Structure 1
Amino acid sequence: MAKILIVDDAKFMRMTLGNIFQEAGHTIVGDAQNGKEAIDQYIAVKPDLVTMDITMPEMDGIEAVKKIKEIDPKAKIIMCSAIGQSRLVLEAIEAGAVDFIVKPFEKERVIEAVERAMRHETSIS
């Protein structure tokens, strides 16, 4: 099972994802509410996988993906976006994200994205 870092500026979203991951047997090793915290947490906890919100204060998810990929080119990051952010999702994938999930989260889709990311597969749909 994966050690996961959850990054989202909304505590409710972090809790929602955390519950989905824990039910599926994954371990939450940290959470962050902006891109700067995400980078610090990534270095501190060395997760297997990161879920990253796109729109956040201080540093957005796309910038954080770029910085994390500089630190660890093998980092596995799944972007979380609201419906209608397709341009930003594309930017995130170009920055190095391996997949994306759309809010509101569908449990099956979230688990599927984690499993695919852990197998090193990318899914751009």
Structure 2
Amino acid sequence: MANIVIADHSNESRMMLRNLLEHDNHLIVGEAADGEEAYREYERTKPDLIILESELPILDGVAVLRKILYFHPHASILMISTVNEASTVLRAIRLGVKQYIVKPVEAESLRRAVRETLEQLEQRQDKAESKLAAFLNSFD
């Protein structure tokens, strides 16, 4: 279904996310345990979605988010965090996160967030294709 990168400092969390997402027929194209590695994996794979933990070491999730969106403004990013404060959630959403999930991650919450994020991506792609088709048809 979708190519996904998982960035979480915990090997256990990455394995749990990987198992759940692969069970739903997604392809995990990269994993990262810190922020620098997360950005490198994003650049290397250009996934449909990156699941980004906010508390990553070396370069935190918000810094990775900013860096990805600076170079790829339409990137689909789902953030997971242990922080459940309204100000933190709003800040992440204002910066461009498509979905925000608080740990511990429940399977159904993750499935719903991934599905909604991928639906948003598909809608953006359909809209871009329609605009391109209209532009090309204007030359006929």
Using the size of structure 2 for normalisation, the TM-score is 0.82
The answer to whether the Cα contact below 8 Å between 1:54 and 1:88 also exists between their aligned partners in 2 is no
Percent identity among equivalent residues? 37
> How far 1:24 sits from its partner (Å)?
0.6
The answer to whether the Cα contact below 8 Å between 1:7 and 1:35 also exists between their aligned partners in 2 is yes
Residue 34 of structure 2 aligns with which residue?
34
Residue 90 of structure 1 aligns with which residue?
90
Deviation readout 1:28-79 (Å, 9 max, x if unpaired): 0001111111111111011000000011211110110010011111100000
Distance 1:43 1:97 in 2: 17
Residue 77 of structure 2 aligns with which residue?
77
Distance 2:88 2:35 in 1: 15
Distance 1:60 1:100 in 2: 15
Write 1 or 2 for the structure with the bigger share of helix: 2
Distance 1:59 1:83 in 2: 17
Alignment length (residue pairs): 121
The answer to whether the Cα contact below 8 Å between 1:81 and 1:89 also exists between their aligned partners in 2 is no
Structure 1: which 5+ runs fail to align? none
Residue 9 of structure 1 aligns with which residue?
9
RCO higher in 1 or 2 (8 Å CA, sep ≥ 6)?
A: 1
